Amino acid sequence: MMSIFAAVALVLTSAILSVAFPLATYTFTLAAFGLTHVLTELHYVDNRFRQRLGNNLCWRMSQLLILIIGLRSLQVLSLIPTWLSITLELSCVVGLVILVIPVLAKKDWRLGIFGTMLCLTLTVGIFSSATLTLLIFAILHNITPVGFIAEKLRGKPRNNALFSCVVVFLLIPLLIISGIPNQVLSYLGLVGLEASLFPVGGLENHLGIFVPPQLQDEAIAISLFSAAVFLQTMHYAVVIGVLPKWEKHHKSQNEHYVFPWLVGFLSVILFVSFTREFIHTRAVYGIIAAVHAWVEIPILLLALAIPENSQISFQGISSQKLSNK
């Protein structure tokens, strides 16, 4: 009962802060929890899914992820233009999806079609507006915990959790976008759009993270930004607060205890860097953030096709045959 009360309190507090102080909430949560959530999420994905993928597929996916790291690094160093980096990065994401289509099709032809349609959607997005496509996927990435929850749980716990996800990841963001919470908090004098805990510049310098350029001058821009900040905060909460409890630890006790300390140490260093130079630190953080965001697309697709305790190889040969159950 106490855990439910704490969860509700966290959701409501995050929603209020995201609307009342969107810039402060975005910058502080990113600085404080960004790297922690990335490393925790990567650790969970490796722990839960590596054995199902097989070495061959893991290696091929790793090659594309390394290429993405290289592209992001070149972009941060201003060695290639941003538009080219984004276009090539999204092309690598298309490649990640293509790698898993044979596995999806082997399980169910409809999954194969779904994977193919996703590739086509990404390709159209690249040619129409790669920057907008990247922005949309950056926002949609915040709902990936729903996929992990659906993959992990079964029966009534799964249904209850997914119902909660509908409220948290859909209904509350839509309410925020409606502008009603902003109007209520503004009436109470509780809104500080430019407030921040450390120097990060004005809100206009950060709107582009979640709001397309076409909408940044519209009245809805602030509400869209606040909704995205809330989604990001909830993403952090599930990844850091829930996923580690579901991990199976096959490694030694020493390794089990070293990881949290290492994550904490690196996160403190990055937090200090964020407080000193937010924009540049965010660009560097984006390198590893891109890896964890893009790898989850093929991983969650494969979760539809590969049951737990199964393995595959790139050629489609499994140590345990893919069942149709």
Beta strands in the chain (DSSP E): none
Pick the range with the lowest mean pLDDT from 109-113, 234-238, 310-314.
Answer: 310-314
Residue 318 pLDDT exceeds 50: no
The residue extents of the domains of the chain are 17-305
| Range of lowest pLDDT (12-26, 98-112, 214-228) | 98-112
What is the Cα–Cα distance from 174 to 14, expressed in whole angstroms?
Answer: 15
What DSSP letter does each residue of 40-85 carry, written as one string?
Answer: HHHHHHHHHHHHHH-HHHHHHHHHHHHHHHHHHHHHHTTSS-HHHH
User: So what's the pLDDT on residue 316?
Assistant: 43
**Angle of the 155-166 helix axis to the 144-152 helix axis, nearest 10:** 170
| pLDDT for 302 | 87
Kindly state the DSSP code that residue 322 receives in the 8-state scheme.
Answer: P
65 CB-side CA count, 13 A: 20
End-to-end CA distance of the chain: 35
71-82 residue pLDDT tens: 999 999 999 999
Could you report the per-residue pLDDT of 20-65, keeping only the tens digit for each?
999 999 999 999 999 999 999 999 998 888 877 778 888 999 999 9
Q: Which pTM does this prediction carry? A: 0.90
272-288 mean pLDDT: 95
Structure tokens that stand for 124 in this block:
């159209």
d(CA 109, CA 102): 10
Tokens of 122: 């990404």
Q: Do residues 144 and 300 make contact, with C-beta atoms less than 8 angstroms apart? A: yes
Q: With beta carbons less than 8 A apart as the criterion, state whether 292 and 281 touch.
A: no
Helix (H), strand (E), coil (C) string for 250-268: CCCHHHHHHHHHHHHHHHH
Total residue length of the chain: 325
Least confident of 49-53, 61-65, 155-159, 196-200: 49-53
Q: Residues 271, 36, 232, CA angle at the centre, nearest 5°?
A: 90
Does residue 315 register a pLDDT over 70? no
Q: What is the pLDDT of residue 322?
A: 37
How many Cα atoms occupy the beta-carbon half-sphere of 90 within 13 Å? 26
**pLDDT per residue as tens digits for the range 89-107:** 999 999 999 999 998 998 8
Distance CA 314, CA 102 (A): 8
Range among 1-10, 147-156, 170-179 with highest mean pLDDT value: 170-179
Structure-model confidence comparison of residues 121 and 258, the more confident one: 121
Res 124 pLDDT > 60:
yes
Q: Are 235 and 37 in contact (CB under 8 A)?
A: yes
In the predicted structure, residue 313 carries a pLDDT above the cut 60: no
**Per-position DSSP letters for 42-53, written without gaps between them:** HHHHHHHHHHHH
Using alpha carbons, select from 280, 277, 302, 270 the residue that is nearest to residue 108.
302
Per-residue confidence band for 311, with pLDDT thresholds at 50, 70 and 90: low
pLDDT digits (tens, 9 = 90+) for 260-269: 899 999 999 9
Q: Are 298 and 100 in contact (CB under 8 A)?
A: yes
Q: Taking residues 298-316, what's their average pLDDT?
A: 69
Integer Cα distance of 178 and 188 in angstroms: 18
**Whole-angstrom distance, CA of residue 315 vs CA of residue 26:** 43
Q: Identify the pLDDT of residue 253.
A: 57
Radius of gyration of the chain (CA): 20
> Does position 281 have pLDDT exceeding 70, yes or no?
yes
The answer to whether the beta carbons of residues 49 and 302 sit under 8 Å apart is yes
- Average pLDDT estimate for 5-16: 95
